[in-house]
Structure 1
Amino acid sequence: MLDEEGLEGLSMRRLGARLEAGATSVYWYVANKDELLDLAMDEVLAEITIPDLTGDWRADLYALVKGLRAMMFAHPWALQVYNNRPVFGPHAREYAEAQLRLLRSAGFVGDDLDGAFHMIVDYVRGSVTIDPPRPVRRPRRHSDGEQRMTLNDSTPDVVAPYPALREYREHALTHDRSLLLQRRFDFGLRVLLEGLARRLDNAKHP
């Protein structure tokens, strides 16, 4: 119910109506909307499964990070809250601890640990921002009449003069969109983790 509209734009009065309670009743449980957002965000972070360790830090980290992305896709409002507010509830701390432990077990320390941690989280947030889990709006027109379109909206004649773009479009349109987005995410995450592993190897064998 709340995912359809998001929590950021929901007033306490409207939230009370959704819950079939008055705004005053809601205040019996939370002090204000900020506290409500903190509780809601931590509740959805609890959906992320902390994987059992296999001894392969990249495989374990891959499984953990996919859980974070799945949570953000399941609750589109969560990304806005995650981006705009400090998130530090019990489940947020549990997730951060799991990711940091995996990176530390791989050998990351100090600035490299900080950089690797935030690079991974930022990659997940960026992938959800670029490919939001909501219907894509149809093309709109600029004030000068030029149509704004996506690659999927384009017709073959639009990309005909651009052979590389034409081939790329044909490849993209042969895949289910959700599958294509998942493959893109998997590719980027694996390359990112491979790059981090290579950095560790270079540090050990300069």
Structure 2
Amino acid sequence: MARRPHDPVWLSEEEQRPRRPRLSRERIVAAAVGLLDAEGVEGVSMRRLAARLDAGTMSLYEYVASKEDLLDLALDAALAELDPVEAGEPWRAALTRHLSQSRHVMRRHPWITALVGTRPLLGPNALARSESVHAAVAGAGFTGAGLAAAVGALSSYVHGFVTTENMWRARMRDAAGEGDLRRRTRAHLADRAELYPVLARHARPEDADFDAGFTAGLEIVLDGIEARLGRP
């Protein structure tokens, strides 16, 4: 409807209609992170993302060249939630805090573990955090191949633990059902103690405390790294 002369602005349909904000790379990437959280990597397409933004699919390509570029940008944006290791902090305490936070970020965005191994992490947020971790391990006394191996061991532990944790939690959504399965597993091992004596004696299938398990495992990895210090 055309606006009549002297109509108050508040009665103008044209003025009252909210304007759709222009697209930007930042807005597109934020929407991509939300879509990944909801649908996972397999559920992401430029068409679905455009629908989420109430935009035309082709308009996204003015800001992002391809889906792969979009995934790179979304991954680096999610890694920005992770604080870099602070310089000057004791190396074990710094790495424990940083890697524990890494676990929580990867729990919040389960798709991170699916993407990390499929592309070089060269975004500014990824590089800043990698630099800080390498600096902490270097500060402990590692150089060269030993430094790379120590960082790789820490990274592999965290990613492997969280991948398993995410998959388990995605499947076992019923606490009562999970508890029953764990008790039955314990009984199954006890009944076969002659075949699997170490598992029957030491395995703890009834233990569902991922937090304690992560901390204990990380301590073992850090102990191993610390034991290497001073060796040729």
Deviations 1:143-174 (A, max 9, x none): xxxxxxx95273665344145656767x653x
Deviations 1:57-88 (A, max 9, x none): 11111111112221111101111111212121
TM-score by length of 2: 0.71
> Higher relative contact order by CA 8 Å / sep ≥ 6: 1 or 2?
1
Q: Which residue does the alignment assign to 1:89?
A: 123
TM-score by length of 1: 0.80
Q: Which residue does the alignment assign to 1:141?
A: none
The answer on whether the counterparts of 2:186 and 2:205 sit within 8 Å (CA) in structure 1 is no
Aligned residues: 187
Question: SS of the counterpart of 1:100?
Answer: helix
Q: Which residue does the alignment assign to 1:184?
A: 213
The one-letter code matched in structure 2 to 1:109 is T
Partner residue of 1:72 out of 81, 96, 106: 106
Q: Which residue does the alignment assign to 2:45?
A: 11
Q: Which residue does the alignment assign to 1:147?
A: none
Distance 1:28 1:53 in 2: 39
Question: SS of the counterpart of 1:132?
Answer: helix
Distance 1:54 1:84, change over 3 A: same
Q: Which residue does the alignment assign to 2:160?
A: 126
Distance 1:198 1:166, change over 3 A: closer
Say whether residues 1:200 and 2:226 are aligned partners.
no
Distance 1:45 1:159, change over 3 A: same
The answer on whether the counterparts of 1:79 and 1:125 sit within 8 Å (CA) in structure 2 is yes
Write the mapping of 1:27-42 to structure 2, written as runs, cut at 5 A: 27-42=61-76
The one-letter code matched in structure 2 to 1:161 is D
Distance 1:156 1:99, change over 3 A: closer
Structure exhibiting the larger radius of gyration computed from Cα positions: 2
Say whether residues 1:136 and 2:165 are aligned partners.
no
Write the mapping of 1:47-62 to structure 2, written as runs, cut at 5 A: 47-53=81-87, 55-62=89-96
Structure 2 residues not aligned, in runs of 5+: 1-33, 174-179
Mean Cα deviation higher: 86-95 or 43-52: 43-52
Deviation at 1:9, TM superposition (A): 3.7
Partner residue of 1:25 out of 25, 42, 59: 59
The answer on whether the counterparts of 1:16 and 1:22 sit within 8 Å (CA) in structure 2 is yes
Deviation at 1:55, TM superposition (A): 3.9
The answer on whether the counterparts of 1:8 and 1:81 sit within 8 Å (CA) in structure 2 is no
Q: Which residue does the alignment assign to 1:161?
A: 191
Distance 1:125 1:98 in 2: 18
Give identity over the alignment, percent: 37
Structure 1 residues not aligned, in runs of 5+: 139-149
Distance 1:20 1:94, change over 3 A: same
